[in-house]
Structure 1
Amino acid sequence: MSVTGTNNTILQNRVLVDVDIKPITRKFHLQLEPPSLLNNLADVDRLKDKLPEGFHNAYMPLPILNKVSEVLWGANWQVTVTLAQFNGIWQVIDVEPGDTSSRHYGIAVDIGTTTVVGYLVDLTTGKTLGSAADYNGQVQYGEDILTRIYLAADEGGRKKFQQAIVQTLNSLISRLINEFKISKHEISAVTVGANTTMVHLLLGLDPSRICMLPYIPVVNHPGFINAASLGLDINPLASLYCLPGVGSYVGGDIISGILASGMHKKTDLALFVDIGTNGEMVLGNSEWLTACAGAAGPALEGGVARHGMRAEPGAVYEVRIDEQTGAVHYKTVASQKPCGICGSGLVDCLAELLLAGVINRAGKFKDSNKEFTVVPASEAENNTAITFTQTDIDNIMRTKGAVNAALEYLLESVGCRFEEIETFYAAGAFGQYLDLESAVTIGLYPDLQRDRMIRLGNSSGEGARLALISEDCLREAEEISRSITYFELNASEVFMNKFVGSRFLPHTNLDYYPTVKKKMLARGLLVD
């Protein structure tokens, strides 16, 4: 039996989560009594009677019924049975000769709009054995999420996007099982953390109403699905579980993040922010949770900047302006010759220009310039200067303003103040690599004590892993999704009014950002 019953303790950037290992699939090694004239139970009945308490009534599909006798008689009545859960019902998905209970594996997946990451998990220990990542194959048909929603409105488009993501997943699974010498039939379950649109495209559902009033998806709680029905190349009877969402713009990736952070179990007020394709935030504690979301990603992923790019080799990811000389210092991904700026570099640029006095608090250049040279042409890969333009600034200011307005809206809705936030969780790849000081300087993140600001990394993938290895965590995820109060910002006049007044650096009210105010005073950029 592979279920250890012991605690699996995960330390992820100072977030400690204790998990009882109770995976959503189980393997049991059984030694059966051979049949005789005095013991003439049918083969299937004999096997099911030997299963542990609570599993005797497990459903056995026809492919397994056809397999049981051959395996039992050929293995001297010593076999290993694999069971998977399908919406509260246990189902036998494999019968193998001998004792294979230690070879028990699952895949946890984070499906992002741009990037997909798969984690191979040992379900006997709960540990991640390895990971693999690649671009979401859907990118070839639509770079941004709105394009994909539009193109997937008809059945042909949906099929194209579904095939693309399934091919991406199968490629990642193939890489992992080959690396660790695992048979695809040994993968008994897949769990997925993804936003609402990505779940719809994976399942072949119509996402078109997600971005139309009143913003209603086809489903928020898809439950368990047969993985083979989607074309996943694993055990053909394996289960696939998509973590539940709350609405069109707060999906299973955010529920995964809350699960991974543990904020739903703590009494202190916490703020969880994931800035990617959308800017999602969750405010609350063990007693209540509120959430909202809005379009954020393109400006901060480099998608709309003149010289913006993904965080690939050659992307400028860090920028500093010398306070005394005004000289620009930068770093690039993989130390390659610069060819563009990724999201963290754009945030750095905005913060450094503010602190250097090049732009004012409204994000406007103080002189007649319309751009700032980050990398001169002589140092750039294509002999073209890499610049940060007024248009780039305006785009980031809108994104930053939306985050400010959303946070103010959430705080006012529950009667809390900025200073009452005890812990801040920065989720996602963007949050992992973004400089905290720069994010606070422009007002993208709240100005809290830095030791209360925790980078979660890929919390969507981590939450998917927790749901994979623990039925308790899976139930917690569903309880979280049902308990969240979701605010639809698109329909809120209050939010829009706050958004209009939020586009100042770091905020309209400088008292919300005391450390930034202190820096600006020290540099003579403010009059006390």
Structure 2
Amino acid sequence: MQLSLTENNDIILQNRVLVDVDIDPMSRKVYIELEQPSLLNNQADVDRLVDSLRACCGDQVTVPLKMMNKVGEALREGDWRVTATLARFGAVWQVIDIEPGDRMARHYGLAVDLGTTTVVGYLVDLSTGQIMATEADYNGQIQYGMDILTRIYLAGTPGGCKQLQDAVVETLNKIILGLAQKCRVERREISAVTVGANSTMIHLLLGLDPSRICQAPYIPVVNLPGYLKVSDIGLQVNPHAPLYCLPGVGSYVGGDVLGGILASGLHKKPELALFVDIGTNGEMVLGNEEWLMACAGAAGPALEGDVAHDGMRAEPGAVYQVRIDPETKDVNYKTIAGQKAVGICGSGLVDCLAELLLAGIIDRAGKFRSRSREFVVVPAAESATGRDITFTQTDIDNLMRTKGAVNAALETLLEGVGCGLTDITTFYAAGAFGQYLNLESAIIIGLYPDLPREHMIRLGNSSGEGARLVLISDASRREVEKIARSITYFELNAKEEFMNRFVGSKFLPHTNLDYYPTVKQKMMQRGLIQE
């Protein structure tokens, strides 16, 4: 799989390798032909196997108790020709399966992007690093709350943490089953799992208490869980397989962000780059090969379903693109799958706000110039619901707060390192939202900085790509842990200047229009502001 540039500077996931990595996966298969035992060579079965494996894997090879009987059975069934599957647990290789005959061709792993709303699984051929299939589903925890804080609260109630863990494990097992059926793979043949997720999602997956993540001084239980076993949480793959969660660096900068840094390679480049992932939280990383600084804050709820009056997730029937004629105020819109409109998803909401500004329907403070409290995007006669689909003043106010938080976070981050917007050479937009959001609309409302468009790159699911890289390459695993150690992370909630900037940032695209020269020019051309 590769993130490759398209003509529009989009980076899309393809079935090739993103970066030049040597295939050295978290699990490996070894085919061995052993000498049969005899009265002159009466070495024990397990010892005989381990001695042979040490020749290719080093001294640190172990066989767990539950595997020992299976060793003798497989050796005899295969006439002393067997394939051993070994998994990496730190510096130790552990035998997690043994099969009669040559089974080298069937070597699989699972990389997961565990999102608050959506979970994506990638079945990977560990011999080549190629993605064989992708499966996605909504996170089962949604039934207990769309947002992170609701889930953290539930986790603190009796039995709540187990409920949330069971829900997400059930989602993962459905994805695993779907991938296995799609590729005709036995689930036990999946011999390693890696997960990229924010800190709260990792805690809930592992059954850890997330309550202190949202309380000063915002300390997680763990940032680097290390190598665990899938059986610890009940994933339905090889029960002895390792589970590795990409490390985080704080309560709100987790393994999904570090996976994105790894996938983008910004930490290896001399030029200054900004990485932004706006989802449930808004995470930012600024830096280059010499240093990295990160911050995060709540940003995404206004961009997700159930928050806007007619908001919804990005599903068939969701309005994802909106254009308003500045003269006639007529609306043109597009829906996912071309179906009749049901509601508006996040990218559509951002389009609405940008188009309302450029059409002169709202002012720079985000207020309707008329006495109206809403704008009809889809009239009742055209909608699937039989009623108007609208974008309301409350929706605008919520988006303005989100936009303001992102503005304030970026300014605080830049000031912390003594840089300005013009010092940023490359901008990376990560996550599913960043993949489908119209860049111009995001810039017009001030959600993204006004940088040269050729320097703005969509990374797509960089969390999933980071998880895949760690799955297939031990060097990538060491690299992501090094990234975690090198990042300077600060809590925005502890910064008074952040709150001051947030209060003063609720103008479109920004209080200071000079920060957004292309937007300023558009507004001048339409007579919305004076030079």
**Structures share fold, TM-score greater than 0.5:** yes
| 1:275 paired to 2:278 | yes
Instruction: Give SS of 1:18's match.
Output: coil
Deviation at 1:14, TM superposition (A): 5.0
Instruction: Give SS of 1:19's match.
Output: coil
CA distance in structure 2 between the partners assigned to 1:9 and 1:359 by the alignment: 41
Q: Specify the code of the residue in structure 1 equivalent to 2:331.
A: V
Instruction: Give SS of 1:20's match.
Output: coil
Q: Specify the code of the residue in structure 2 equivalent to 1:11.
A: S
8 Å CA contact retained: 1:9, 1:18:
no
CA distance in structure 1 between the partners assigned to 2:438 and 2:3 by the alignment: 25
Residue identity over aligned pairs, in percent, reads 69
Which residue, out of 83, 86, 91, partners 1:88?
Answer: 91
CA distance in structure 1 between the partners assigned to 2:51 and 2:94 by the alignment: 14
Structure 1 equivalent of residue 40 of structure 2: 38
Distance 1:9 1:175, change over 3 A: closer
Structure 1 equivalent of residue 4 of structure 2: 11
Encode CA deviations 1:104-126: one digit per residue, 9 max, x unaligned.
Answer: 00000111111111100000000
8 Å CA contact retained: 2:408, 2:501:
yes
Deviation at 1:353, TM superposition (A): 0.7
Structure 1 equivalent of residue 379 of structure 2: 376
| 1:143 paired to 2:146 | yes
Structure 1 equivalent of residue 135 of structure 2: 132
Deviation at 1:67, TM superposition (A): 1.3
CA distance in structure 1 between the partners assigned to 2:340 and 2:271 by the alignment: 45
CA distance in structure 1 between the partners assigned to 2:315 and 2:59 by the alignment: 52
CA distance in structure 2 between the partners assigned to 1:155 and 1:470 by the alignment: 40
TM-score of the aligned structures, taking structure 1 as reference length: 0.96
| 1:457 paired to 2:460 | yes
Structure 1 equivalent of residue 205 of structure 2: 202
Q: Specify the code of the residue in structure 1 equivalent to 2:4.
A: L
TM-score of the aligned structures, taking structure 2 as reference length: 0.96
Deviation at 1:140, TM superposition (A): 1.0
Please list, as runs of the form range in 1=range in 2, the aligned pairs for 1:48-63 lying within 5 A after superposition. 48-51=50-53, 52-63=55-66
Deviation at 1:10, TM superposition (A): 5.8
Q: Specify the code of the residue in structure 1 equivalent to 2:173.
A: N
Deviation at 1:74, TM superposition (A): 2.2
Distance 1:458 1:14, change over 3 A: closer
Deviation at 1:9, TM superposition (A): 6.5
CA distance in structure 2 between the partners assigned to 1:302 and 1:404 by the alignment: 22
Structure 1 equivalent of residue 489 of structure 2: 486
Instruction: Give SS of 2:21's match.
Output: strand
Deviation at 1:40, TM superposition (A): 2.8
Deviation at 1:297, TM superposition (A): 1.2
CA distance in structure 1 between the partners assigned to 2:204 and 2:70 by the alignment: 34
Which residue, out of 188, 205, 208, partners 2:191?
Answer: 188
Structure 2 equivalent of residue 3 of structure 1: none
CA distance in structure 1 between the partners assigned to 2:307 and 2:346 by the alignment: 10
8 Å CA contact retained: 1:118, 1:172:
yes
CA distance in structure 2 between the partners assigned to 1:247 and 1:313 by the alignment: 36
8 Å CA contact retained: 1:10, 1:18:
no
Structure 2's unaligned 5+ residue stretches are: 13-17
Please list, as runs of the form range in 1=range in 2, the aligned pairs for 1:263-342 lying within 5 A after superposition. 263-342=266-345
| 1:411 paired to 2:414 | yes
Structure 2 equivalent of residue 475 of structure 1: 478
Deviation at 1:103, TM superposition (A): 0.6
Which residue, out of 518, 522, 525, partners 2:525?
Answer: 522
Distance 1:9 1:345, change over 3 A: closer
Q: Specify the code of the residue in structure 2 equivalent to 1:20.
A: D
Structure 2 equivalent of residue 76 of structure 1: 79
Instruction: Give SS of 1:192's match.
Output: strand
Structure 2 equivalent of residue 426 of structure 1: 429
CA distance in structure 1 between the partners assigned to 2:305 and 2:500 by the alignment: 27
Encode CA deviations 1:22-48: one digit per residue, 9 max, x unaligned.
Answer: 101111111112223333322222211
Instruction: Give SS of 1:17's match.
Output: coil
Deviation at 1:180, TM superposition (A): 0.8
| 1:439 paired to 2:432 | no
| 1:349 paired to 2:352 | yes
CA distance in structure 2 between the partners assigned to 1:161 and 1:152 by the alignment: 7
Deviation at 1:510, TM superposition (A): 1.2
Deviation at 1:154, TM superposition (A): 3.3
CA distance in structure 1 between the partners assigned to 2:52 and 2:4 by the alignment: 38
Encode CA deviations 1:363-402: one digit per residue, 9 max, x unaligned.
Answer: 1111222111111122122221111111111110110010
Instruction: Give SS of 2:151's match.
Output: helix
Structure 2 equivalent of residue 28 of structure 1: 30
Instruction: Give SS of 2:416's match.
Output: helix
Structure 2 equivalent of residue 400 of structure 1: 403
8 Å CA contact retained: 2:3, 2:11:
no
CA distance in structure 2 between the partners assigned to 1:427 and 1:340 by the alignment: 24
Deviation at 1:73, TM superposition (A): 2.0
Encode CA deviations 1:447-466: one digit per residue, 9 max, x unaligned.
Answer: 11111111111111111111
CA RMSD of the aligned region, Å? 1.3
CA distance in structure 2 between the partners assigned to 1:370 and 1:377 by the alignment: 17
Structure 1 equivalent of residue 107 of structure 2: 104
Deviation at 1:155, TM superposition (A): 4.6
Aligned length: 521
> Mean Cα displacement is larger for which, 281-290 or 295-304?
295-304
| 1:153 paired to 2:156 | yes
